[in-house]
Structure 1
Amino acid sequence: MCGIVGIFDMRAMRDIDQQLLHRMNESQHHRGPTEGGLHRERGVGFGHRRLSIIDLSSGQQPLFNEDGSVVVVFNGEIYNFMPLMEELTALGHTFRTRCDTEVIVHAWEQWGEACVDRLRGMFAFSIWDRNRQTMFLARDRLGIKPMYCALLADGMFLFGSELKALMAVPGLSRDIDTHAVEEYFAYGYVPEPRTIFKSAFKLAPGHTLLLKAGASSLPAQRRYWDVPFKPHAPMTAEDAEREMIDRLREAVASHMVADVPLGAFLSGGVDSSAVVAMMAGVSSEPVNTCAIGFNDRAYDETEYANEVAQRYGTRHFREVVESDDYGLIDTLARLYDEPYADSSALPTYRVCELARKHVTVALSGDGGDENFAGYRRYRYAMAEQRVRSMLPASLRKPVFGFLGTVYPKADWAPRVFRAKTTFEALARDLVEGYYHGVAKMPDRVRARLFSDSFKRGLNGYSAIEVMREHAKASPTDDPLSMLQYLDMKTWLPGDILTKVDRASMAHALEVRVPLLDHEFVEWASGVPASLKLHGSEGKYLLKKSLEPHLSQDVLYRPKMGFSIPLAAWFRGPLRDRVRAALLSPLLADTGIFNMAFLREMVENHQSGRSDYSVPIWSLLMFEAFLRNCIGEAEPSAMAA
């Protein structure tokens, strides 16, 4: 696991500034504290920070082929590197190391752009081929590893594992993208491939980019993989459960290759418990497991983690975090570079911090909900879709649209009683309804949040267009599969995987996600929707197949998640900070916000009349991003 950076002069192939390349590389020191390396030649500069995982004594990067004409910088792990090494050796290639990085170099030489089709793993890498005068960039299929890019006005192309590497370059404009702001306040993150800056973009998951010396503009990103959602041949329930376990066990085993201490996150939920159960079944040594508990039992589920740890005899490490662990707000802003509003980043940071005390590599259970429809929102969306299917759009839209308009708002109530939200969703189609359900701030709230001048600048653009574009490309028209596909293109890379990458890399910890092994994802996508969401039970097939391995309490208790008590924080210990940040000149001076609504939001939340905890958190993180980005002082009313 590493951090990579690079500069490519596409137009004139001028010399690369060594000090600039060094600054870019050192901005990501936390991603690879073991060692660093630079390579420069005319028009090209590569940098690498290494966290040694495999082949500790060699495999330093940048790494070259035999004659030095091809060089690579690589972040990630290639799990099938040994069979690929054998295949490439048989084809005449000579290896000097036993590391996965060198496999990429020779795979490029042998198969060119198609090399990515042969790689099984998580990766972001760049190759410079001097003979072809070509730079090739690639990102793994699901977006586990990040890649940020920018083309400057002078023809210099930049890339890095984190946006801060690009921000180390003086020529990078920090003008904020208005569409990215709209998307951030809708989703809580900036979806791929956009970034918060107009000048930079993300290489999208499952895409490559091929650059030629002398080109005057960037080519389009090329998609090399997509989730197929190709239905399997009919099988019995017993056969499906057996194949599920076989494939899960194989995916987990493939992710356990390492020359350093290895363990797993264990939250006590289905997915992390499944990973631990499979690890224990293929490991000759006790598995290292790590869990974070909360001193507030309403947010603590470590008793279930303890149960799984005892069942499988793991070497279990647990720490308790105070429920007022809000001192990380500015740390998170600096880590994520862009505005990022998933509050579970706080406990994720802490569990990575705990894990790094004991292991260098940790397996996580991320991806289970997306693969097998585990989120409650899928259940709500499918219930709404059944109602939609019973009424023609010509009747449904005006009737439910009217009811959604006149029914009072009740965000404080359990979802089943939020009829306004349900009516509004029923007036929409599947994609609109789902977007409406997952939005951190609904359209009606953002309409009040933004200033009139900012809304004019959007020129009618709405964040729903992100989902609309992905829906057009969807390989499936099954409603549930469509929603899973949308999450795999938006929520998974933009929120979940970003959260884990930054939190783990902050502690020089490598996190692997076997449930997102692309072969496992391809198989899971072909499982019938009825075996994913069965009645009201999400992850039905996964849970049924795990019944011999985990208790009923672990498998079938209500999903808790990694939540924190935002509403109470903002009325209590963070009360002054909220007022200082949201009503600050910093936010007012952006011209983005309707400051009267921000004041109303703060007053109504802190008085208890409304719960605006999610919008307030989004604004807090945006304000922290602005300070981190432009170097303003922190608000005067800082807590902790």
Structure 2
Amino acid sequence: MTEICGWFGATGNRDESARRTWLGAPPGQSIPAQQAFGAGFGWQVSSGVGAHHAHVDSDGGLCIVGRAFWRGELLEAGSLPALRVALASDFRAVLGMLRGHFLLLAHEVRADRLLLATDRMGVYPLAFADRGGALVFASDARHVASNPLVSAGVSSQGIFNYLYAHMVPSPGTIFNGVDKLLPAQYLLREGGRTERDFYWRMPYEDGRDWALKPASDELKAVLAGAVRRAAGDAQPGCFLSGGTDSSTVSGVFSRQANAPVDTYSIGFDVEGFDEMEYARLAVRHFGCRPHEYYVTPADVVTAVPRVAAAYDEPFGNASAVPTLFCSQMAAADGKTVLLAGDGGDELFGGNARYAKQKVFEIYQRLPAGLRSGLLEPLVLGSGATSIGPLRKLRSYVEQARIPLPDRLESYNFLERGDLASMFEPDFLGRIEASEPAMIAREVYARAPQDQPVNCMMHLDLKQTLADNDLRKVTRMCALAGVEVRYPLLDDEVVEFSARVPIDWKVRGTQLRWFFKEALKDFLPHDIITKSKHGFGLPFGAWMRSDDKLKQLAYDSLITFRKRRVLQTAYVDALLESHRTDHANYYGVMIWVLMMLEQWLQVNEPGLN
């Protein structure tokens, strides 16, 4: 993995040797690539196994981590001087023209200015803190927190946000006073002042008068270019789950390659979780060379501590485990680059909630007076609606009356429960329970408000992708020693998706209508028509049947109870509920708590 870290600005009388020691020891890194020091600044880019590209100009004033494109060319060391001159002239315009997935640092000594920026999709994260007039930054939030100028502990608010979202949504982090850049944001530090803003915004349109055939041809051409750019000069393998996105990436690359493409697939010997048959269908259809592995409960027991420790913040997405084993399989096969299919659902309308929420939005379009003055008193105030078919009407109104995006969290564990009976009073008094919802509302509101489907996808681009899935895949690939690239998040694909008519994304209740219609002569029919299936882990079921996995979970939760975050009675009730017929449902929260405790054991013995 490649990490960039450093500080800029006044540092007071703090010991410079301590800062240099901090700079030279990023968590999990051992191979320093380049360093730069000066009056009031110091930074380093370091690389370990599975490193992404990093280019630094000759005097250390400009660094690009990742794969950035400028003026149609892949940025390399030789083109950095021209980019540096352009950034000094008009950095906002230049950032708007940069393509690809990258992290950028530009330092101008004469102007006493530092510019940091992450790519449009947030593939490359950056954490930072402002302390004592100095800006401290790093790819790894733990590294910022450990800086002698920062010395930040774990925050109660970060713990709550994690339990709510199963990851810590940006712009916050798990550490007090440490933040993250959002996708497509820059941070400018100049003259002791800090400016943070977006250099690009998703250009949503509600395209009209589109014709299916030319639009389909354009999509295929855009996908082909994206896969070609992602593959570059490498000979990558492909993640292949058997879903629409991974099958598309594998198929397009297969058509471009001169030899069978290596695909890597994970299975589970549990009914309802295994999609290997669809992966095999794609393999046969495109003539790929398949590599398969079936994850077992013993694998999970072994992987949990490694997975938890790999992340700079607690991370509760259980599919990180199969992602790790898939990546390890590719690494053992000699692959250094993998192509992943993440992003298609969030760009072209593939998540089930988009169709479901369209049904609820019908209610929101009724006159407010009719809703609050007649329907809600009639339906919600009558005991008759608690029996028979009227129960569904009551449930519909109860959900529909909640505006988006809050309605998306109707099934959230923390929304469905009573916080006062879940959390310890002292802990609850230290947090703002509405913060996760406020973060989501801000992102949702940045898309056109007359386009709820686009608003939901815009929210998912940030929370489901940048905060969750991209963190998951990138970190697990790095842990296995493999670089991952995301063709469906190529800028041309993203911009094309923004122009697709809304009713072509979700037509009625048909998800990804246009994407599937355009590729129906390319993808296998059964993959086009299959119901959506996640890359899930059958943890809840396995925890009931495997003693070692159950012991790991129980031991983690028993230890976590001592941290006085959740009330003991709630943790006990959660474990008891898991023994019922809803093992997979309650298993989700048990996994989230287990991974939190595993992370805390490595990173923070107590809470602030």
Asked whether the two chains share a fold, i.e. TM above 0.5, the reply is yes
Stretch deviating more after TM superposition (185-194 or 275-284): 275-284
Among residues 347, 370, 376, which one is paired with 2:346 in the alignment? 370
Which amino acid is the alignment partner of residue 144 of structure 1? V
Matched-pair contact (CA < 8 Å) for 2:240–2:246: yes
- 2:506 counterpart SS class: coil
CA offset digits 1:206-228 (Å, max 9, x no partner): 10011125x1xx52411111112
Uncovered stretches (5+) of structure 1, i.e. residues with no partner: 86-94, 409-416, 633-640
TM-score (norm 1): 0.85
Matched-pair contact (CA < 8 Å) for 1:373–1:532: yes
CA offset digits 1:503-530 (Å, max 9, x no partner): 1111232111121122321221221121
Matched-pair contact (CA < 8 Å) for 1:121–1:140: yes
Alignment of 1:294-443 (within 5 A): 294-296=268-270, 298-327=272-301, 328-357=303-332, 358-390=334-366, 392-394=370-372, 395-398=374-377, 422=396, 424-437=398-411, 439=412, 441-443=414-416
1:45 aligns to what?
A: 42
Matched-pair contact (CA < 8 Å) for 2:337–2:483: yes
1:207 aligns to what?
A: 185
Matched-pair contact (CA < 8 Å) for 1:123–1:139: yes
Residue 12 of structure 1 deviates from its aligned partner by 5.4
Residue 202 of structure 1 deviates from its aligned partner by 0.4
1:524 aligns to what?
A: 497
1:575 aligns to what?
A: 550
Uncovered stretches (5+) of structure 2, i.e. residues with no partner: none
Residue 28 of structure 1 deviates from its aligned partner by 4.0
Among residues 93, 99, 111, which one is paired with 1:132 in the alignment? 111
1:22 aligns to what?
A: 24
CA offset digits 1:33-69 (Å, max 9, x no partner): 6x63322222222212236999x9xx875x225xx3x
State the superposition RMSD in angstroms: 3.1
1:89 aligns to what?
A: none
1:159 aligns to what?
A: 137
Residue 423 of structure 1 deviates from its aligned partner by 5.0
Between the aligned partners of 2:117 and 2:22, the Cα distance in structure 1 is 23
Residue 552 of structure 1 deviates from its aligned partner by 0.8
User: Is 1:64 matched up with 2:57?
Assistant: yes
Residue 143 of structure 1 deviates from its aligned partner by 0.6
Residue 201 of structure 1 deviates from its aligned partner by 0.7
1:10 aligns to what?
A: 10
User: Is 1:76 matched up with 2:50?
Assistant: no
2:95 aligns to what?
A: 116
Which amino acid is the alignment partner of residue 299 of structure 2? D
2:597 aligns to what?
A: 623
CA offset digits 1:317-343 (Å, max 9, x no partner): 222222553222221221112121111
Which amino acid is the alignment partner of residue 465 of structure 1? M
Between the aligned partners of 1:493 and 1:396, the Cα distance in structure 2 is 39
User: Is 1:288 matched up with 2:267?
Assistant: no
Alignment of 1:494-509 (within 5 A): 494-509=467-482
Between the aligned partners of 1:356 and 1:172, the Cα distance in structure 2 is 36
Residue 166 of structure 1 deviates from its aligned partner by 2.2
2:155 aligns to what?
A: 177
Alignment of 1:233-252 (within 5 A): 233-252=208-227
- 1:475 counterpart SS class: coil
Distance 1:127 1:405, change over 3 A: farther
Which amino acid is the alignment partner of residue 294 of structure 2? V
1:411 aligns to what?
A: none
CA offset digits 1:153-207 (Å, max 9, x no partner): x333221111232244244333333333332222111111100112211011110
- 2:43 counterpart SS class: strand
1:482 aligns to what?
A: 455
Identity across matched positions, percent: 26
Distance 1:484 1:60, change over 3 A: closer
CA offset digits 1:454-503 (Å, max 9, x no partner): 33333563521122222332234212111111212222211111111211
Among residues 148, 166, 170, which one is paired with 1:188 in the alignment? 166
- 2:66 counterpart SS class: strand
| Aligned residue pair count | 593
Matched-pair contact (CA < 8 Å) for 2:235–2:337: yes
Between the aligned partners of 1:246 and 1:580, the Cα distance in structure 2 is 52
Stretch deviating more after TM superposition (365-374 or 441-450): 441-450
TM-score (norm 2): 0.89
Matched-pair contact (CA < 8 Å) for 2:244–2:528: yes
